[in-house]
Amino acid sequence: MRQAQRSSSPVRGTGPAPPRAPQAARPVRYPESDGKPMSETPVHWHAMVDFASPLHGFLKDRPDAYVGSNMLMYYEEGNNKRRVSPDVFVAFGVPKLPERRVWLVWEEGKGPDFVLEVTSRSTRREDEVGKKALYERLEVREYWQFDPLGEYLDPRLRGYVLGADGEYREVALEERDGALCHDSLLGVTLRLEGERLRLFDPKRGEYLLTHAEERQARQAVEAERDRALEAQRIAEARMAELERRLRGE
């Protein structure tokens, strides 16, 4: 009787497993929101908007200037935990368009040139220590803190300018016409007038208007136009009446 021949084919389940194909790395997602409220209080929100909105108008004709507000900024590629959200920032030397949803420093090629944080007692340590060190590292040329409620800053405005050595120097505010001022790299003068921070255009000799002030100015112009039209209507009616009387009608 012949012996059965042993199969030369490998037995299933024995021997080393074949190497797995390398898996492609998942792309890192950079969220547009961190789930935190936009501002501490309505006062802080208005302070932020009243600073950002005039800058949009002031820089609207510069295609190389971008104004951002409360936008997440990521500064380490591949790590979506390394982020900051400046209340207001301006970057020069970058295209204004297209509009961004987040700011990726490595794609833009730089961080902002100017940052304003609307600060409060609860964000004091973060604004004075953590963000200050980060903005210095990102080579933000001007970093400002505005405390609209006067909770800890006296005066309510404090600024830093980046020196040639890459370190911040605190700005010495100048007193002009009853306000504390600084001529910013933005091309405007920051003016702390009592409790309010305003922007002044030294070339035109006028303040940059907030949305509310622009609306009030338009309403004033419209009211003056209506008054002029009404005065013209009355004058024309009187003239027509006088002509009728002269004709003996």
End-to-end Cα separation, the chain, in angstroms: 147
Full-model pTM: 0.78
Bond from prior residue into 155 cis (ω within 30 degrees of 0): yes
Res 1: pLDDT: 42
Phi, psi of 199 (to 5 degrees): -115, 135
pLDDT interval class at 6 (50, 70, 90): very low
pLDDT mean over 116-134: 96
Res 21: pLDDT: 59
pLDDT interval class at 243 (50, 70, 90): confident
pLDDT mean over 222-248: 72
| Percent of the chain residues past pLDDT 90, beyond the cut | 69
pLDDT mean over 224-244: 73
pLDDT mean over 10-39: 70
Phi, psi of 49 (to 5 degrees): -65, -40
Residue pair 48/54 in contact (Cβ under 8 Å)? The answer is no
Res 5: pLDDT: 46
Res 182: pLDDT: 98
- For the record, the structure tokens of 140 come out as 């933000």
pLDDT tens figures, 157-200: 999 999 999 999 999 999 999 999 999 999 999 999 999 999 99
Res 82: pLDDT: 96
- Mean pLDDT is lowest, of 11-15, 143-147, 207-211, for 11-15
Res 34: pLDDT: 81
HSE value, Cβ hemisphere, 13 Å, CA-based, for 106: 10
